[in-house]
C-alpha cells in the first residue's frame, strides 16, 4: 500500500510545530495532523472496499453458477452466503462510504478549505480514527469467529439478530453489533470536530456563504449523523443485552416489540443515506464548477436546499416498513414525506445541470466521474419514487428492484463520488498528476459494467425475484432460463468491473513513482486548498502566510479579469483589469 | 502547542463551549431514543405498573436531591473560576464529585436491594428498561466525575480554568437526564 505522501517537514525550514512527536513511520500512526488522519481513513476504507468487493464477487458467483467452487473462496454454504451478503452491506456502508467520503475527505478538506492549520481538536480527531480502527478489527474478527459472521442482513432485524437459536452465530452477531456501535462512536467524535471547525476556525474574512459547498455538505451530513444515530446506539445496547444477558426488549413474549428495532434502525438508516449522499454531492459540485469554469448556479439556494433535505430526512424512515404491519394511515403520511424529499434532491440535480449550461467544459477524468454521478444517481433517485409510494412498494418490497435501486444510489455515492474526489484532489494530496488516459480507461471500465450489473437486476426484481435467496434453482418459478441468463450477465459484468479496478491501482502506483509533479493549483480552482503547496506542509500554510479571504469560492469567468478564476485569498486590487 | 484553528472563534463562542453543546446534542438523542422507546412501551403495557410499584420513590427522591445539590456546587465552582479563584473552584468541584459518589452509593444500595429481592434486568421488559436507562445514566455520572476530577486538579493550580464551566454544562445535562428518569421510572406507578 502506498505510504501517505504528506511530508511533515516539507519544503521549508522547520517551523515550531513541525518537528515534535514520534519519528519515522510512527509519525503516521500517532500523528494528529488532519491530512494524515484523512489518509488513514482513506486507506482503511479502500482496504475494506476490497473486502466488500470480494464478498460481492463470491456471492454473485454463487447466484450465477449455483454450487460452483468459487475460485479463491470454495463452495459457498447457505450460512456463508447469508453472512457474505450481510457483511457486504455493512462494510460498504459503514466501513467504505462513511470513512472515505465523510471522514477522509471531511478531514482532508475542511481545514484546508476554511483556511485553518488543523482541526480544532487534533487529539480527538486522532482518537476518532483509533476507535474506528478498533471497530474495523472487530467487524473483521466477527467474520472468522466460531459459528461464522453475522448473517441476519445488514438491517439486523430481531428476532433473527437477537436470538442465537435462530441466527446460529452467537459470537458473530454480538461482535457485529459492537463493531457497528464503535464505528458510530468514532464518527460522533469526528463529527464534533467537523462541525466546530467550520463554525469557529474559518479564515479571517470568510463568511458563512464564502464556504465551499462541499464543506457545508460534509458538516450538514455530520449533524444529520449526530442527531440520528443516538436512538440506534440506544437500540444497539438493547440488542446486545437481548443477545447476551437475555433481556427481551425486542421479544413480544416478555413485553418487547421487534418493530421497535425497525423504527430505531431506520430513524437512523434513512438520514444515513443523506449522510453519505451529501458529501458526494458536494464533491461533484466542486468538480463541475471548476471544469465548467462557471459560478455555481444559486449557491445560497443549494445550502438552504441541503438543510431542508436534512430536516425532511428525519420524517421518511417508515417507508422501509410499509409491509411491517404499520398503520396504513401512517404509510400514507410517510409516502407523502418520501415523495416530498425527492423535490430538493431533484432541485440539486437541476442546479448542477444549470451550472454546466453555457460553461466551457473540460472532460477530464474527475469531470467524467462527476457527470456520471449525476446521471447514475438520477436513475437511483427516480426508481426510489416507486418504492417510496406505499402502493407500489408492497409489490416491490424485498425484491431485486429494491436492491438495484439502492445500488444505483449507493454506488454513485460511495464509488463514483469517491473516484471523483480522489482524481480531483489527488494532485493536492500526493503532489503528483495522475495519468488522464488511464483514468478514462478506468472510468469507462467501471461505469459500463456497473450499469450492466444492475439493469438486469431491475428487470429481475420486476419479474418477482426476491432478495436473500441462496440458490434460485430451488424455486421453480424463479429458475427460468432467461432469469438465470440475467444473473450471469450481472455476475460477468461484476467480474469485468472488478478487473478494471486494477487499472486504477496501477495508475496510482505509476503516478506516485513516475507521475509529473503537481503545481499548487493544477485545475486553476478558487478554493483555499489550492493556494498552498502540493502536498500541503504540516500546518497547511506557513504561520505568516495563513490565508485571508476576500470572496466566495466560485468566481469563475469574471468578465473584467484576465484570468478566468479568482482565488478566494486574492485581494481585489491585484489582477483585475 | 495548540493549532491556530483551536484559538479562532468565528462565531464568538469559545470552541470548547461550542463542542460541549454538540456533545450534549448527540447525548440528548441517545437518551431521547431510549426514553421514547420506554414511554411508547409503557403506554402500550398498562400492566407494567405492577412492576413499577416496586421501585423505591423515596430513594429516587433522595438521589434527585443529591444530584440537584451537586449541580449547585458546580455552578459555584464556575462562579469561582470566573473570578480566577482556582483553589475555590477546585474545592467546589470536589464537593460535586462527592455528590456524584453519594448518588452512585445510594444507587448501588438500591440496586442491591432490588436484585436481592428478585427484580433483575431479565425479570421483564420494564426492569430491562429500568436498569438500562438508569445504568446508562450512572455511567455518565461516573464518567463526569472522573473528568471533573481531572479538571479540578488543574483548576487547583489555576490552570485551564475555562474547563470548569464546560464540565459544569455537562453536569447539568446529567442532572436533567435524571429529572426525566425520576418521574418516568419512580413516580409513574
CATH code for residues A26-545: 1.20.210.10
Dist. CA A6–CA A80, nearest whole Å: 40
B166 in a structural domain: yes
Is residue B123 included in any domain, yes or no? yes
**A117 and A539 in contact (C-beta within 8 Å)?**
yes
CB contact under 8 A, B33 and A17: no
| Cβ-Cβ contacts under 8 Å, B15 against chain A | 120-121, 196, 200-201
Residue B20 in domain = yes
Q: Which residues pair with A432 in a beta bridge?
A: A517
Q: Do A247 and B136 touch (CB under 8 A)?
A: no
Q: Is residue B30 part of a domain?
A: yes
Q: Give the pLDDT band of residue A17 (cuts 50, 70, 90).
A: very low
Put simply, the answer to whether B41 touches A245 (Cβ < 8 Å) is: no
Residues of chain B with pLDDT under 50: none
> B30 vs A231: CB contact, 8 Å cut-off?
yes
User: Whole-number mean pLDDT of chain A?
Assistant: 92
The per-residue pLDDT for A21 is 56
Among B residues 24-43, those touching chain A with beta carbons less than 8 Å apart? 25-34, 36-37, 40-41
Residue A116 in this model has a pLDDT that exceeds 90: yes
* A412 or B7, greater pLDDT: A412
Candidates A197, A202, A204, A200; CA nearest to A218 is A197
Candidates A255, A262, A532, A539: best to mutate against B (most CBs of B within 10 A) is: A255
The CATH code of the domain that includes B136 is: 1.20.120.80
Residue B29 falls inside a structural domain: yes
**Predicted confidence (pLDDT) per residue in A128-179, tens digit:** 999 999 999 999 999 999 999 999 999 999 999 999 899 999 999 999 999 9
Chain B 2-21, residues with CB within 8 Å of chain A CB atoms:
3-6, 8-11, 13, 15, 18-19
Check residue A10 and give its pLDDT. 40
Euclidean distance between the first and the last CA atom of chain A, given in angstroms as a whole number: 48
Closest CA to A162 of A50, A258, A93: A258
Residue A209 per-residue DSSP state:
G
Whether residues A17 and B1 touch (CB distance < 8 A) is answered with: yes
Q: How far apart are CA A380 and CA A383, in angstroms?
A: 5
**pLDDT (tens digit, 9 = 90+) per residue, A296-311?**
999 999 999 999 999 9
DSSP-derived secondary structure for A460-488? HHHTTPBSS-S-GGGSGGG--HHHHHHHH
pLDDT digits (tens, 9 = 90+) for A348-376: 999 999 999 999 999 999 999 999 999 99
Q: How distant is the Cα of B75 from the closest Cα of chain A, in angstroms?
A: 25
**B chain contacts of residue A539, beta-carbon cutoff 8 Å:** 3-4
Q: Is the pLDDT of residue A4 over 70?
A: no
In a domain, B34, yes or no: yes
- For position A30, what pLDDT does the model report? 87
At residue A533, the pLDDT reads 93
**Cβ contacts of B177 on chain A, cutoff 8 Å:** none
Residues A225-250 pLDDT 10s: 999 999 999 999 999 999 999 999 99
Is residue B8, in this structure, part of any structural domain at all? no
- Note the pLDDT of residue A1: 39
What is the predicted ipTM? 0.94
Q: Is the pLDDT of residue A6 over 50?
A: no
Distance CA A242, CA A238 (A): 6
* Nearest residue in chain B measured CA to CA from A18: B1
Calpha distance A417→A501 (Å, rounded): 15
B3–A539 C-beta distance less than 8 A: yes
CB contact under 8 A, B30 and A233: yes
Whether residue B124 and residue A248 make contact (CB cut-off 8 A), yes or no, is: yes
With respect to residue B32, please indicate whether it lies within any of the assigned structural domains. yes
User: How far apart, in whole angstroms, are the C-alpha atoms of residue A491 and residue A451?
Assistant: 12
Global pTM exceeds 0.90: yes
Domain that holds residue B22: 13-187
DSSP structure class, residue A76: P
CB within 8 Å: A247 and B11: no
pLDDT of residue A22: 62
Residue range A79-98: average pLDDT? 96
Average pLDDT over residues A92-110: 96
CA distances from A30 to A24, A407, A531 (A): 11, 36, 27
Distance from CA of A543 to the nearest CA of B (A): 9
Q: What is the pLDDT of residues B144-186, one digit of tens each?
A: 999 999 999 999 999 999 999 999 999 999 999 999 999 999 9
Please list every residue in chain A whose beta carbon sits closer than 8 Å to the beta carbon of residue B19. Answer: 120-121, 192, 196
Provide the β-strand partners of residue A517.
A432
Cell digits of residue A269 = 438508516
A232–B132 CB contact, under 8 Å: no
Count of structural domains, chain B: 1
Per-residue pLDDT, A12: 40
Whether the predicted pLDDT of A20 surpasses 90: no
Amino acid at each position: 500500500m502506498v505510504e501517505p505522501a504528506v511530508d511533515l517537514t516539507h519544503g521549508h525550514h522547520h517551523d515550531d510545530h513541525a518537528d515534535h512527536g514520534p519519528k519515522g513511520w510512527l509519525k503516521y500512526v500517532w500523528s494528529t495532523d488532519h491530512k494524515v488522519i484523512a489518509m488513514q481513513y482513506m486507506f482503511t476504507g479502500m482496504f475494506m472496499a476490497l473486502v466488500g468487493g470480494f464478498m460481492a464477487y463470491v456471492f454473485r458467483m454463487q447466484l450465477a453458477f449455483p454450487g460452483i467452487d468459487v475460485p479463491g473462496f470454495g463452495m459457498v454454504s447457505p450460512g456463508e452466503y447469508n453472512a457474505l451478503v450481510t457483511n457486504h452491506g455493512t462494510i460498504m456502508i459503514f466501513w467504505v462510504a462513511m470513512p472515505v467520503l465523510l471522514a477522509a475527505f471531511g478531514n482532508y478538506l475542511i481545514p484546508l478549505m476554511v483556511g485553518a492549520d488543523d482541526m480544532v481538536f487534533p487529539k480527538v480527531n486522532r482518537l476518532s480514527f483509533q476507535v474506528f480502527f478498533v471497530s474495523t478489527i472487530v467487524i473483521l474478527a466477527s467474520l472468522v469467529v466460531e459459528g461464522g459472521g453475522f448473517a441476519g442482513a445488514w438491517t439486523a432485524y430481531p428476532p433473527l439478530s437477537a436470538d442465537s437459536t435462530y441466527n446460529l452465530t452467537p459470537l458473530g452477531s454480538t461482535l457485529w453489533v459492537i463493531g457497528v456501535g464503535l464505528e458510530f462512536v468514532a464518527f460522533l467524535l469526528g463529527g464534533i470536530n467537523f462541525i466546530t471547525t467550520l463554525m469557529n476556525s474559518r479564515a479571517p474574512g470568510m463568511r458563512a456563504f464564502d464556504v465551499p459547498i462541499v464543506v457545508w455538505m460534509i458538516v450538514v451530513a455530520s449533524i444529520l449523523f449526530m442527531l440520528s444515530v443516538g436512538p440506534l446506539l440506544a437500540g444497539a445496547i438493547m440488542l446486545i443485552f437481548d443477545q447476551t444477558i437475555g433481556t427481551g426488549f425486542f421479544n413480544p413474549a416478555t413485553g418487547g416489540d421487534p418493530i421497535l428495532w425497525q423504527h430505531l434502525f431506520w430513524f437512523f438508516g434513512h438520514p444515513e443515506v443523506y449522510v453519505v449522499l451529501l458529501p458526494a454531492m458536494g464533491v461533484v459540485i466542486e468538480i463541475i464548477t471548476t471544469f465548467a469554469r462557471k459560478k455555481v448556479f444559486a449557491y445560497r439556494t443549494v445550502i438552504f436546499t441541503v438543510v431542508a433535505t436534512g430536516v425532511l430526512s428525519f420524517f421518511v424512515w417508515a417507508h422501509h416498513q410499509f409491509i411491517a404491519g404499520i398503520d396504513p394511515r401512517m404509510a400514507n403520511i410517510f409516502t407523502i414525506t418520501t415523495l416530498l424529499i425527492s423535490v430538493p434532491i431533484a432541485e440539486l440535480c437541476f442546479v448542477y445541470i444549470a451550472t454546466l449550461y453555457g460553461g466551457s467544459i473540460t472532460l477530464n477524468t474527475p469531470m467524467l466521474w462527476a457527470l456520471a454521478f449525476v446521471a447514475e444517481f438520477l436513475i437511483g433517485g427516480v426508481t426510489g419514487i416507486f418504492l417510496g409510494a406505499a402502493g407500489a412498494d408492497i409489490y416491490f418490497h424485498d425484491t431485486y428492484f429494491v436492491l438495484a435501486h439502492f445500488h444505483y444510489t449507493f454506488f454513485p455515492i460511495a464509488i463514483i463520488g469517491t473516484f471523483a474526489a480522489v482524481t480531483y484532489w489527488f494532485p493536492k494530496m500526493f503532489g503528483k498528476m495522475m495519468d488522464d488516459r488511464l483514468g478514462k480507461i478506468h472510468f469507462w471500465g467501471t461505469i459500463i459494467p456497473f450499469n450492466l450489473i444492475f439493469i438486469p437486476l431491475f428487470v429481475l426484481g420486476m419479474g418477482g425475484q426476491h432478495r436473500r435467496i441462496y440458490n434460485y434453482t430451488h424455486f421453480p418459478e424463479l429458475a427460468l432460463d432467461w432469469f438465470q441468463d440475467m444473473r450471469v450477465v450481472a455476475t460477468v459484468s461484476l467480474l469485468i468491473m472488478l478487473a478494471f479496478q486494477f487499472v486504477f491501482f496501477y495508475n496510482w502506483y505509476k503516478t506516485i513513482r513516475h507521475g509529473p509533479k503537481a503545481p499548487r493549483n493544477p485545475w486553476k480552482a478558487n478554493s483555499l486548498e489550492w493556494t498552498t503547496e502540493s502536498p500541503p506542509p504540516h500546518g497547511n500554510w506557513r504561520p505568516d502566510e495563513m490565508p485571508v479571504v476576500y470572496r466566495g469560492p466560485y468566481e469563475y469567468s469574471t468578465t473584467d479579469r484576465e484570468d478566468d478564476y479568482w482565488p478566494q485569498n486574492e485581494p481585489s486590487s491585484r489582477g483585475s483589469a | 502547542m495548540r493549532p491556530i484553528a483551536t484559538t479562532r472563534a468565528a462565531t464568538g463562542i469559545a470552541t470548547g463551549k461550542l463542542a460541549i453543546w454538540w456533545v450534549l446534542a448527540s447525548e440528548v438523542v441517545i437518551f431521547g431514543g431510549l426514553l421514547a422507546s420506554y414511554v411508547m412501551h409503557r403506554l402500550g403495557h398498562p400492566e407494567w405498573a405492577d412492576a413499577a410499584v416496586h421501585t423505591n420513590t423515596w430513594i429516587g427522591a433522595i438521589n434527585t436531591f443529591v444530584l440537584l445539590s451537586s449541580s449547585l456546587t458546580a455552578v459555584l465552582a464556575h462562579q469561582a473560576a470566573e473570578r480566577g479563584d482556582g483553589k475555590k473552584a477546585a474545592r467546589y468541584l470536589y464537593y460535586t464529585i462527592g455528590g456524584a459518589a453519594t448518588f452512585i452509593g445510594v444507587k448501588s444500595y438500591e440496586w442491591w436491594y432490588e436484585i436481592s429481592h428478585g427484580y433483575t434486568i431479565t425479570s421483564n421488559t420494564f426492569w430491562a428498561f429500568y436498569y438500562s436507562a438508569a445504568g446508562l445514566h450512572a455511567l455518565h455520572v461516573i464518567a463526569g466525575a472522573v473528568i471533573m476530577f481531572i479538571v479540578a486538579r488543574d483548576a487547583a493550580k489555576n490552570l485551564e480554568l475555562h474547563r470548569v464551566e464546560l464540565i459544569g454544562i455537562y453536569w447539568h445535562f446529567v442532572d436533567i437526564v435524571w429529572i426525566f428518569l425520576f418521574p418516568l421510572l419512580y413516580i409513574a406507578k
